[in-house]
Chain A
Amino acid sequence: MAQVTLRKIVKEYEGGVQAVKGIDLDIADHEFVVLVGPSGCGKSTTLRMIAGLEEISGGDIMIGGSVVNDVPPRDRDIAMVFQNYALYPHMSVFDNMAFGLMLRKFPKDEIKRRVDNAARILDIVPLLERKPKALSGGQRQRVAMGRAIVRAPKVFLFDEPLSNLDAKLRVQMRTEIKKVHQTVRTTTIYVTHDQVEAMTLADRVVVMNHGIIEQVGPPQELYHNPATRFVAGFIGSPAMNFLPARVENDRVHLHGDAWLPIPEARRARYASAVGRDLLFGIRPEHLTDQRLGLPNRADILITPEVIEPMGMETLVHFHLGEARDCCARIEPTVHAAPGEPILLTADMNNMHLLDAATGRVL
């Protein structure tokens, strides 16, 4: 059993700067949890505290039900994959992978069996005699994962493992990591600033900002029902559009004189927001050229500023009233040109209204 539990975890540096401000998190056995957030949000610090590489200033960390606050990293039965791989440059790939087992005095034939098995899973058998210098970035990352796998630890920790790889390799390695987790089913905590990685890998995503957890949930839940403006803006690419708005007469009044009808099912929910300063949030894919054929749609006339043809879709950038940098996704076959007005359709079933003052989604 390898649940990981964080209770009121605090990390405070000299001078009173708090990197992590009392977070609580329960990670189930076999679960793949991704901590995601911008630089400085405390995600890597949290991971390093779980690994035992950072002292905790307050709270408790439990692995497999035992408090490990004062347990050194070597006795926590965890394995970690670092951003810069942290392979031992003077050792061969085999020795890098075998190092942890050798220190734990495993018999030689058992070490060989485990390393060979991990090498087969990761497809690095021909590389076992090479030194890390003779490997490509992707191969090094596989070796780093192999080093973690051979130990069969209670928990895998990944600290931005794909950040140093090029875009294509990153996608490939992402799939590899998912495959490995499906094979070995070890509890995994993965840190990244890339929300695409978070969405594609995680059973549950933990969105962090300024040392606190903004929201925890499965990727689809976070995408469709964000709790805060930060989560709504952070998850999804291109980001959600936010436009200053008010609710009046069952309609959303956007600053810029657009009036959009609120779907009937949501009217009661937004009744208390009448007259308050709000933000209307809608994702680019819910603001398209298509006639959706749904009852709850609203047309908005915009003038594109920049057109980005992506092949499978076209991104249209425009500004609407006070909101700059709005974005819509349209079919690549639809003609759009900068300066030529175009009629977009907002799917109001997927709209969000946020309190402008608190940033909470209503």
Chain B
Amino acid sequence: MPDSMTAAVSAPRGPESGAGGGLRRLARRRSTIAFLMTLPLICVIVGLVAYPAAYAVYLSTLNRRMDGFAGLLQFEILVDNETFWLVVWQSCLFAISAVLAKALIGFWLAHMLHHIPTKGQRKWRGMLLIPWVIPPALSTLGWWWMYDPTYSSLNWILAIFAVPAVPWLGEPWWARISVIMVNVWYGAPFFMIMYLAALKSVPEQLYEAAAIDGATSWQRLRHITLPMMQNIISITVLFSLIVTFANYDIVRVLTNGGPRDLTHVFATYAFQVGILSGNIPRGAAVSLFMLPALAVFAYFILRGVNRRNREMA
């Protein structure tokens, strides 16, 4: 009897047995299926993000002739370069002021849209999104014409009110402001649409409860709307800050970094140093310079978002 049981247990288990059965089981596992389904995206990310990023890091460690390892030499040279610090300052000014303006204007527009009836809201939403859907290189060209010192429509309007013509792109501070204005014009609709979605997700009953609790409209905004939108605001600001720091096309089309390098941002300066001047390792170092700061910033923002998600969702 024990012999026959042993025989039954150790008998071959048919077609599922062996390596073939193991593979089939592996293919049926949820984690395997999930991996296979995300594989195309992983390939795209590795090919278009991870590889270029790693290659940029590698390039930044080479010497100018790109025939030897130079360690952090390119970064050391940049730290001692006065123009580079001007670029750092300008990039921060450009990104922070543009993101702040986009966030404020986006929030204001979203609030306006949220309070108009659904039918009219669709039309306005569509119109207000136009700047964001036009390719920025093209729309910036339009702005470039509007900023033209002689034939500028902006200066023409100012002339009607007897205001002297403004050298929009010719004078450093005006050029900086002009570049920021175009970036705000282009990016505010993105904030608007994100904030509008966030506003719509705040339950109406919270406002009603607050109104009964005694809150004025300002207090409802401060104590209900803003805290409830905090995650969307944080993520939108983070996303926009990263994209705005990396902005290239607006500055390239409007000022090309001029006058006298006074409107350069990281991307345009990296292009000028790396491509136009042929110093690719230095250009790579410029483009990588803000990475650690942005990574730390992103870490803290996302940590806050996760914490609030855990507490509130």
Contacts and interface: CB of A to CB of B under 8 A. Distances in A.
A156 to B, nearest CB: 11
B211 A74 contact: yes
Nearest to A79: B212
B224 A103 contact: no
Given A84-B203, A86-B206, A73 B308 contact: no
Contacts of B308: 90
Contacts of B230: 90
A258 B83 CA distance: 107
B259 to A, nearest CB: 48
B313 A73 contact: no
A73 B211 contact: yes
| Interface bracket on A | 20 to 34
Nearest to A80: B212
Contact of B227 (A51, A86, A90, A147): A90
A76 B212 CA distance: 8
A269 interface: no
A145 B95 CA distance: 47
A53 interface: yes
Given A103-B219, A133-B311, A86 B205 contact: yes
Interface string A85-115: 0111110000000011001100000000000
Nearest to A77: B214
Nearest to B213: A100
Given A74-B216, A84-B205, A90 B211 contact: no
Contacts of B227: 88, 90
Contacts of A53: 208, 211-212
Given A86-B206, A89-B312, A103-B219, A78 B212 contact: yes
B176 to A, nearest CB: 37
Contacts of A100: 212-214
Nearest to A105: B214
A318 interface: no
B213 A90 contact: no
B232 interface: no
Interface in B192-213: 203, 205-206, 208-213
Contacts of B203: 84, 86
B223 interface: yes
Nearest to A81: B209
Contacts of B213: 74, 99-100, 103, 147, 151
Nearest to B227: A90
B212 A88 contact: no
B215 A103 contact: yes
Contacts of B311: 89-90, 131, 133
Contacts of B242: none
A80 B214 contact: no
B305 interface: no
B228 interface: yes
A99 B209 CA distance: 10
Nearest to A90: B227
B203, B214, B216, B228 — which one has the most chain A CB atoms within 10 A of its CB?
B214
Interface of B: 203, 205-206, 208-216, 219, 223-224, 227-228, 230, 308, 311-313
4 cross-chain pairs, A with B, having the tightest CB-CB distances, nearest first = A100-B213, A86-B209, A86-B205, A74-B214
Given A79-B212, A87-B209, 10 more contacts: A51-B208, A73-B208, A74-B212, A82-B205, A84-B203, A90-B228, A90-B308, A99-B223, A103-B214, A147-B209
